[in-house]
Amino acid sequence: MYYVSTRNKTLQYTPAEAIAQGLSREGGLFVPQVIPRLPGSALMMLKDMSYQQRAVYVMGMYLDHFTSFELSRAASAAYGPDKFDTKAVAPVRKVDDTTYCLELWHGPTCAFKDMALQMLPHLLSLSLKKNNEKKTACILVATSGDTGKAALEGFKDVDQTKILVFYPRNGVSEIQQLQMATQEGDNVGVSAVIGNFDDAQTGVKTLFSDEELREELAQRGYFLSSANSINWGRVLPQIVYYISAYCDLLRDEAIQPGEAINICVPTGNFGNILAAFYAKQMGLPVNKLICASNSNNVLTDFIQTGVYDRNRQFYNTVSPSMDILISSNLERLLYLLSEEDDQLVASYMEELNRVGRYQVSDSILQKLQREFAAGYADETATKAAIAAMKQGENYLIDTHTAVAFKVLADYRKETKDETVTVVASTASPFKFGDAVLDALGVRHLWTGTALLDQLAEETGVEAPVPLATLKEKKVRFTSYTDKSEMKTVVNDFLR
Ligand SMILES: *Cc1c(COP(=O)(O)O)cnc(C)c1O
């Protein structure tokens, strides 16, 4: 199987090339040339397998240059008991007879980014070997919080890689800062940047386009690479858990073989819900994909009208990982819905870049609305959903997951659709403890790691071990840099 660019499908790449390169040269994203179909018997077979075995099977369909031995080793390393606090890896929890919650936050950093970032480093390291690349990949990340820690944990001590993370000095929560400052591993580095997230991100982009730095590093045996969510190696591991969730429902006889489900996903960059769409294209029985947004509801408008318009107010919300106005992975969906019209996709992306807006054709809009429903939840509704879920079902959910539950409730009210629905739960409530406590009506909040104890006391739910043990961890990284000095930090890191 080969991969092509969404903006030029005549160029072909092997899976290893697509993963190592990340982004196509003309700016397009890599997509599989054909989407593999699940054989008729696959789901019944997979339902009795472990998560790791399901991952090997599904990923193998897209990576036919990789052996199943290689993928098995990667899956046990990525999703082993030393990394995930449940054998199920991505367990499905019943909420009521037609609602199930797919918990994607049992990994080392307690957010769904772990599902992909535990796997990507292994896929990258295997790809480098296949490409006969002798240099070491240095992953540079600018983070507003969750991605940086998940990438550090994923790349920690992985062969032929080093990772350096920049975060805004005053732009992340205390817990997030502590998570990164205490990072273990011999190939990792962390630096705060004086400024905000944009300063850190602009700084990293400048480093990527610095030809002089590139040459210098090549002489020392390094090349720069990214762990950004547009890498196919991050989308692919996410397809696995939707198929896995369906298999769990089959195994537990919550659905009949062949019965279609709906999937509801709290969405930002459109990576997570795109993976559900791929699972459906592979033949997983799915009716509607429900795209849930917060007040930054650019995707709700897009799905309802066919107009994507980023020229709007930006809100900082209690679900910060969804505070996004440009959803990069939407480009892959446009490619698929336009029947692989790479020129059309290129023209939409050019308009987005130039004027911040584009309108899709009627035929794309029709298909979009056949596949997707969309809605959003504002801050008040998000908090109300947390309180209602705790009171009604004694189930503690985080702010992002709450957005999804609220949008699902609205969708059901409007459509009377009673299809069994899987809601993707993307973070542990302890990661966003202050907003969760606020939603539960607690007024005097403790600070730092004490917030974890407060939420535990208040709810009787235990904090996940990786967060609870933060206060015992040694702080390793305290340095910060001016944004003009980030290049020096890279050079020192790669001495
Ligand atoms: C990244 C993230 C999201 C958004 O996922 P996308 O793939 O960007 O749509 C939702 N919730 C949490 C907790 C996240 O970290």
pLDDT for 90-110, tens place per residue? 999 999 999 999 999 999 999
Exposed, middle or buried: residue 443 (CB in 10 Å: 0-12, 13-18, 19+)?
exposed
Instruction: State the Cα–Cα distance between residues 182 and 28, nearest whole angstrom.
Output: 36
Q: Are 133 and 222 in contact (CB under 8 A)?
A: no
DSSP state of 431: G
Model confidence pLDDT, tens digit, residues 308-364: 999 999 898 999 889 888 888 999 999 999 999 999 999 999 999 999 999 999 999
State the closest ligand 1 atom to the C-alpha of 400, by its place in the atom list counted from 1: 11
State the closest ligand 1 atom to the C-alpha of 266, by its place in the atom list counted from 1: 10
Q: What pLDDT shows up at residue 379?
A: 98
Q: Ligand 1 centre from 24 Cα, in Å?
A: 23
pLDDT band at 286 (very low <50, low <70, confident <90, very high): very high
Kindly tell me the sign of the dihedral angle through the C-alpha atoms of 61, 65, 69, 71.
Answer: negative
Instruction: State the Cα–Cα distance between residues 20 and 14, nearest whole angstrom.
Output: 10
Q: What pLDDT shows up at residue 31?
A: 97
Q: What pLDDT shows up at residue 369?
A: 98
Q: Are 78 and 118 in contact (CB under 8 A)?
A: yes
Is pLDDT larger for residue 52 or for residue 65?
52
Regarding the beta carbon of 449 and ligand 1, being less than 6 Å apart is answered no
Regarding the beta carbon of 483 and ligand 1, being less than 6 Å apart is answered no
Mean pLDDT of 28-52: 97
Predicted TM-score (pTM) of this structure = 0.95
23: tokens are 């982004």
Q: Which residues contact 311 (CB under 8 A, 6 or more apart)?
A: 355, 356, 357
Kindly tell me the sign of the dihedral angle through the C-alpha atoms of 458, 461, 462, 464.
Answer: negative
Checking if the pLDDT of 145 tops 80, the result is no
Q: Ligand 1 centre from 428 Cα, in Å?
A: 12
Regarding the beta carbon of 267 and ligand 1, being less than 6 Å apart is answered yes
Checking if the pLDDT of 171 tops 80, the result is no
4: tokens are 């092509």
Nearest to 396 by CA among 381, 406, 385: 385
Q: How far apart are the first and last CA of the chain?
A: 39
pLDDT band at 477 (very low <50, low <70, confident <90, very high): very high
Instruction: State the Cα–Cα distance between residues 293 and 322, nearest whole angstrom.
Output: 7
Q: What pLDDT shows up at residue 170?
A: 79
Regarding the beta carbon of 331 and ligand 1, being less than 6 Å apart is answered no
Q: Are 23 and 134 in contact (CB under 8 A)?
A: no
Q: What pLDDT shows up at residue 198?
A: 77
Q: What pLDDT shows up at residue 208?
A: 84
Number of H helices, E strands in the chain: 22, 16
Regarding the beta carbon of 113 and ligand 1, being less than 6 Å apart is answered yes
DSSP state of 187: T
Q: Are 121 and 155 in contact (CB under 8 A)?
A: yes
Instruction: State the Cα–Cα distance between residues 447 and 90, nearest whole angstrom.
Output: 30
Is pLDDT larger for residue 265 or for residue 171?
265
Model confidence pLDDT, tens digit, residues 205-246: 889 889 999 999 999 999 998 888 889 999 999 999 999 999
Q: What percent of the chain has pLDDT over 90?
A: 86
Amino acid at 78: A
284: left (phi over 0), alpha (psi -120 to 50) or beta: beta
Mean pLDDT of 364-392: 98
Choose which residue among 105, 113, 321, 325 to substitute to test ligand 1 binding: the one with the highest number of ligand atoms within 8 A of its C-beta: 321
State the closest ligand 1 atom to the C-alpha of 269, by its place in the atom list counted from 1: 8
Regarding the beta carbon of 103 and ligand 1, being less than 6 Å apart is answered no
166, containing H or E segment: strand 161-168
Regarding the beta carbon of 183 and ligand 1, being less than 6 Å apart is answered no
pLDDT band at 202 (very low <50, low <70, confident <90, very high): confident
State the closest ligand 1 atom to the C-alpha of 270, by its place in the atom list counted from 1: 9
Q: Ligand 1 centre from 226 Cα, in Å?
A: 18
